[in-house]
Homo-oligomer: A and B are copies of this chain.
Amino acid sequence: MTEPATPYLRVDVARLHRTITGTAARAAGAGVSLRPHVKTHKCVEIARLQLDAGAIGITVATVGEAEVFARHGFDDVFVAYPLWLTDEAAARLREVAQHARLAIGVDSTEAAARAGSLLEGSGVEALVEVDCGRHRSGVRPSDAGALAVAAEEAGLPVRGVFTFPGHSYAPDALASSAEDESRALTAAVASLRESGLEPDVVSGGSTPSLAHSDTALLTELRPGVYVFGDAQQWELGTMAPSDIALTCRATVVSHAGGRLVLDSGSKALGADRAPYATGGGRLLDHPDARIVLLSEHHAVVDLGGAPLPPIGSRVDVVPNHVCNAVNLTDTLWADDGDALVPWSVSARGRNT
């Protein structure tokens, strides 16, 4: 097959299928619904594979992502974000709600009141976001009931509660973050009940903590990254290199200084580098290699003394954070073993 010019993102379709069906089977076995976060791939073809494998709907982060997927026939969408609605955003959500069952996140009485007013009669529901330890957005679990009551009084029906245990992105926090999630959601459910409300949905999950999720409590899981994996999951120990389904194909452009210089810079891989990351990304077939310097169009690799692949040859780079890598390109190249098929990153750049 003729390869595109590098750098480009390549999806290993066999690995993708294996992960999607395996994760769906584990969720089904645990009796919990799967609502994958499609911000990771922003790709209609992949979201369809997830639904075909049993996902009940999709999670998105923005109104723009909701629009793209609703337009492609996805009819159950949760915007897992504490939206502040302008009149224009509310009109766009009303349009989406004509075609899909739709819910949004809420974590303040101000935003709930505004959404209740601007979305009245649209059928859009809300989930109250609680903070379980990431300390990003979300109310304290004990405040969930009061916010839910305020939302309902403002005309915004509350479907349940959700959280994101994002502090799972740290070594040794995979299990403890899931315990935090369970504790926070238990308290949030109790808070709703004390306020006279019964949540239909108790939603959580993240790729690092997924195996530790309290599936007796949670009714749905919203992992995103699991679908591809990345160097963060590799380094956290949650996915093996042999599970990683997306790489950035890169060309060796130089051997300057006795090191490998690749054309996969931060404009192809993203510039994410978590505190626990061992470099700017990994090489799939060179586990000892590290990207020691990453600029916009250069990745300088220390190969740990191994022989340098020749100038002009190609290697597979694993981005640190796949969500940001995907958002940099318009096309994923799906490799099914026979051909490279272009899949559109339909929701790329849909930040609003």
Q: Which of A81-89, A190-198, A233-241 contacts B (4 or more CB under 8 A)?
A: A81-89
Contact B296 A61 (CB under 8 A): yes
Asked if A304 is an interface residue, CB under 8 A from chain B, the answer is no
How many chain copies? Answer: 2
Chain B residues contacting A323 (CB-CB under 8 Å) are 267, 296
Among B82, B136, B257, B271, contact of A272 (Cβ-Cβ < 8 Å): B271
Q: Are A84 and B312 in contact (CB under 8 A)?
A: yes
Which residues on the B side are within 8 Å of A61 (C-beta)?
296-297
B residues within 8 A CB of A311? 84, 108, 110-111
**From A89, which residue of chain B is reached at the shortest CB distance?**
B5
Closest B residue by C-beta to A313: B84
User: Is the CB–CB distance between B136 and A298 below 8 Å?
Assistant: yes
> Main secondary structure on chain A at its contact with chain B?
loop
| Chain A residues close to B by CB (< 8 Å) | 4-8, 39, 61-62, 81-84, 86, 88-89, 107-108, 110-111, 114, 131, 135-139, 166, 251-257, 261, 263, 265-268, 270-273, 293, 295-298, 300, 310-312, 321, 323-324, 327-330, 349, 351-352
A-B contact pairs, 20 of them (CB 8 A): A84-B251, A84-B311, A107-B254, A108-B256, A131-B256, A131-B257, A136-B298, A137-B254, A137-B298, A138-B256, A139-B256, A265-B351, A266-B270, A267-B323, A267-B324, A267-B327, A267-B351, A268-B351, A273-B273, A328-B328
